[in-house]
Amino acid sequence: MTSRTRRGVPLVAALLASVAVLFFALPLFGLLQRAPWSDAWDDLTSPVALDAMRLSLECSLWATALSLLFGVPLAYTLARGRFPGRSLVRAIVVLPMVLPPVVGGVALLYAFSVNNGVVGGWLHDVFGLQFTFSKAGAVLAETFVAMPFLVITVEAGLRSMDRRYEDAAASLGANRWTVFRRVTLPLIAPSLYAGAALAWARALGEFGATITFAGNIQGRTQTMPLAVYLLLESHQGTAIMLSLVLLFVSIVVLVLLRDRWFGAARES
């Protein structure tokens, strides 16, 4: 509905906005226009593409699971805990969101590599874990960049929920774990789903930290973004098809999050 006082958008703003939309739309168009549709199936079923897709799916799901396992308690602690240095902790946690992923990869190297990492040698000796040039490394790199998305989304959900529901549950005899499981978690479910979806999408797209920290080995650390980068020189068609798969996944995530992010805009 248009109102009398605000009729549309000034012409200059509309022109500049159109340029911005083109700027976003043109790369998509370019990708679609260069896609080798006739060889699509062969490109996507080539061993290198299949390996990359399988590995990406596996690593990103592991990263999401680890993000949930450690990120939800962390979000809860940040939202509900009262301890000195909480804002410092939060800053450390969200740092990977603004840190160049390559730098993240280098930093991971000096923490977890067997030879010169802070705890890498110990983890190798005690648990037999080796992250560099291994699938575990790819998972670790993806978790590093993905978990912050889950933590801040879930923390925001915890902060905005009506805590009196937790009081009501406690007055009905529920202990803290029951309150969390039967009241808190269901009430923040939208934030939880959104956080998990964002974390998963971020893990799936992870490139810099993975290639720096885990390496680029087909079937072990070569996830889809790494494969795209490598194949752009030798098998351009496969690179484009893999890119389109990632693009498709991104759009699906956006649609799934639509109600959460665009719901408010639609109402007004």
Which positions touch other proteins (CB under 8 A)? 162, 164-165, 167-175, 178, 182-183, 186-187, 189
Shorter beta-carbon distance to other proteins: residue 160 or 250: 160
Which residue's CB is nearer to other proteins, number 16 or number 168? 168
The closest of 257, 264, 258, 138 to 209, measured between CA atoms, is: 138
Residue number with CB closer to other proteins (154 or 169): 169
What minimum distance in Å lies between the beta carbon of 179 and other proteins?
8
Q: Compute the least distance from the CB of residue 248 to other proteins, in Å.
A: 32
Are 207 and 226 spatial neighbours (Cβ–Cβ below 8 Å)?
A: yes
CA 118 vs. chain centroid, Å, equals 26
Q: Which is nearer to other proteins, 34 or 80 (CB)?
A: 80
For residue 187, give both structure tokens: 């009430």
Residue 27: partners with Cβ closer than 8 Å, 6 or more residues away: none
CB of 86 to other proteins, least distance (A): 20
CB of 175 to other proteins, least distance (A): 5
| Cα–Cα distance, 104 to 101 (Å, whole number) | 5
Residue number, 130 or 178, with CB nearest to other proteins: 178
- Shortest approach of other proteins to residue 75 CB, angstroms? 19
Buried-state track 12-26, b at ≥16 Cβ within 10 A, e below 16:
eeeeeeeeeeeeeee
- Are residues 103 and 180 in contact, defined by beta-carbon separation less than 8 angstroms? no
